[in-house]
Amino acid sequence: MKKSVVLAFSGGLDTSYCAIYLSKILNLEVHAVIVNTGGFDKQEINEIEKKAIALGVKSFVCLNETENFYNSVVKYLVYGNVLKNNTYPLSVSAERISQASAIANYTKKINADFVAHGSTGAGNDQVRFDAVFNILIPHVQIITPIRDNKLSREEEINFLNENGIYINAEKAKYSINKGIWGTSVGGKETLTSHSALPSQAYPTQLSETLVKDVELYFEKGELKGIDGKLFAHPTNAIQALEKLAAPFAIGRDIHVGDTIIGIKGRVGFEAAAALIIIKAHHALEKHTLTKLQLIIKDQQAMWYGNWLHEGLFLDPIMRDLECFFESTQKNVTGKVFVKLSAYNFSVEGIESSHDLMSNKFGSYGEMNNTWTGQDVKGFTKIMSNQMSIYHQINSVQ
């Protein structure tokens, strides 16, 4: 009787190679599993299933983790306004944790002998998947054909061709990972320090050029409405905003960062909804949170984003930070006004009953209603007292 393996499957080049290799070379019964974190519609899932069946897998299943991914991860990325290196909304690194956890649970469910993924030996995903599997299914052996065999994309294509599976080499030039929080794009350009991805490498092309005003409604930090329409769950609102904004070719960029394994890496991404939501949410927070709340939250959000990126999501400190983020959001409710245009967007302003920028207390740069000029003189003298002493003692005579 053949031993079984659960393969984290996407339908791309790497996992297609794995499906053939695991069954024909290792003689394993392959159970392909795709975890949908909001990047695929029903038609796309059907196409991926056809690919899996054509590769000869024993079974194929799609696990829908979209709402769970939002509830357990994305929500806190919004609360923290998390942008890795002030650029990247952690589109892929965030969803990998949810995907790996779902695959680990499925592996336990069918009592598989092995679990496999298509990560290379030069990226972050190998660590993220391995870490989650080591924690949740420590007695299941992990198989990683691409990493173990040190394969190039050309070698993978040749292997598949030799086994009767013909891959379009032109399409295989770019590695695309799609989820609700953005789509990553990797190719030969991102292997350099200077080359930009060509426009056609991005999944969504510019088709809207007329400026459009959009009203976003947040309730306790979560996007709940767009242009007066309320949604049953924030995932529905995110998907609606992506559909609205992506045709403007908004949210394209290249992230440069330090990988978990100690090398520098570049990745392109397209994340219209994620970037708009983070910037709009941050604008609302700047009006509704205190100075110290904003300062401390920025610091903790940096750590939260870094640890998530590096596969440490299951450490209990992450649950502690999430409780803190949750506490900061109780007054982050209101409307944010955003303007969309070709390749760009801007946050125009906000409306909130919790807005701390109230003119009944004073108008910045003009007049105040709650203190006097004498109050400021006294405050300034006390505030600067120690600095004054320092400079008087240490001034050059």
Q: Which two tokens stand for residue 32?
A: 């392909």
pTM of the shown model: 0.91
Residues 89 and 182: beta-carbon distance below 8 Å? yes
CA proximity to 197, closest of 240, 157, 249: 249
DSSP code of 172? G
Residue range 372-379: mean pLDDT, rounded: 90
Q: Residue 229: which residues within 8 A CB-CB, separation 6 or more?
A: 240
Could you give the CA distance from residue 293 to residue 154 in angstroms, rounded to a whole number?
A: 51
CA proximity to 32, closest of 42, 43, 44, 22: 22
Evaluate if residue 169 carries a pLDDT over 90: no
SS3 169: coil
* Cα-based distances in Å from 223 to 59, 212, 300, 328, 347: 37, 19, 22, 15, 15
Give the model's pLDDT for residue 257: 87
Give the model's pLDDT for residue 176: 85
Give the model's pLDDT for residue 359: 66
Residue 153 sits at φ, ψ, to 5 deg, of -65, -35
pLDDT digit string, tens, across residues 126-157? 999 999 999 999 999 999 999 999 998 889 99
The average confidence (pLDDT) of the chain is 93
SS3 233: coil
CA proximity to 202, closest of 217, 187, 224, 191: 187
Give the model's pLDDT for residue 238: 98
Give the model's pLDDT for residue 361: 59
Q: Which two tokens stand for residue 317?
A: 């400190």
pLDDT digit string, tens, across residues 39-75? 889 999 999 999 999 999 999 999 999 999 999 999 9
Residue range 257-271: mean pLDDT, rounded: 91
Evaluate if residue 272 carries a pLDDT over 80: yes
Using pLDDT thresholds of 50, 70 and 90, give the confidence band for residue 173.
confident
Helix residue ranges, H only, the chain: 13-20, 42-54, 66-69, 75-79, 91-110, 125-136, 145-149, 153-162, 234-245, 272-288, 291-309, 316-328, 373-383, 385-394
Evaluate if residue 363 carries a pLDDT over 60: no
Residue range 181-201: mean pLDDT, rounded: 93
Q: Could you give the percent of the chain with pLDDT greater than 70?
A: 96
Residue range 255-269: mean pLDDT, rounded: 90
Q: Which has the higher per-residue pLDDT, 352 or 39?
A: 352
CA proximity to 53, closest of 171, 172, 165, 177: 165
Give the model's pLDDT for residue 327: 98
pLDDT digit string, tens, across residues 296-329? 999 999 999 999 999 999 999 999 999 999 999 9
Q: Dump the DSSP string for 183-217.
A: EEEE-GGGGSSSPPPPGGGSSS-----S-EEEEEE
Could you give the CA distance from residue 296 to residue 265 in angstroms, rounded to a whole number?
A: 29
Residue range 165-193: mean pLDDT, rounded: 86
